[in-house]
Structure 1
Amino acid sequence: MSTREVVDTYYRLANEGDWDAWCDLFAIDQTMDEQLAGHVEGRETLREMMKGFPQMYASFANVPRLVVVDGEQAAVVSDITARTPDGITVEAVVCNYFRVRGGLITYMTNVHDTVPFAPVTGK
């Protein structure tokens, strides 16, 4: 897959809630710097982390608004809208940066305001 195809698939699978297939987009030795979860190394670590995601959010949408691809790099500005099982709504603008090699995400980071997530994370 090209970088653009990987990025498009990343958002499609997230919006479908197919977290196992979503994790398969990452290289085995991937590195992620996630605004809320911190530094995450390894695809299987990420997969374990994502197992709890469906219990955290009853609904989740991450809709890209701007996608910029330059070779093996991409940056995406997107809007997250999520709802917890208790009815708490989260809305945030996010910027993700990706490095893709061989059709897999080797590095990803995201940046967003953490305040909208505070009712969910308790932070």
Structure 2
Amino acid sequence: MKTVQVNIVTPDGPVYEADVEMVSVRAESGELGILAGHVPMVAPLKIGAVRLKHSGSTELVAVSGGFVEVRPEKVTILAQAAETSAKVDVDRAKSAKQRAEEHLNHPNESDVRRAELALKRALNRLNVAGK
């Protein structure tokens, strides 16, 4: 099967670089599956897991929004934050989840949206880490 080069980059630097058979992302417009030769496009991403399939296995990378740029032979994901499943600090993610839930249980109008986003990011990281 043909492969496509994938680069996931954050402001802190590269997080993932490899050739994969398929990339799946959660774009604002819905789920996208990308194979080699895909039509060029750019799309904003939701908080979610990027699924990277190669050699019969799937790797997960948690991303906190950003953009995906697709070219026929290359996919670049520019994310505000990204972590591979092996790099997720589970204790830190659980603490962030707990803080966000506390903010949502005792809402202050200005904090509700921030707490919702923090909760989504924490849950995404825990899902990617398999916890």
Q: Same fold per TM (> 0.5)? A: no
Structure scoring higher RCO (CA < 8 A, sep ≥ 6) equals 1
Q: Name the larger-Rg structure.
A: 2
| TM-score normalized by the length of structure 2 | 0.31
| TM-score normalized by the length of structure 1 | 0.32
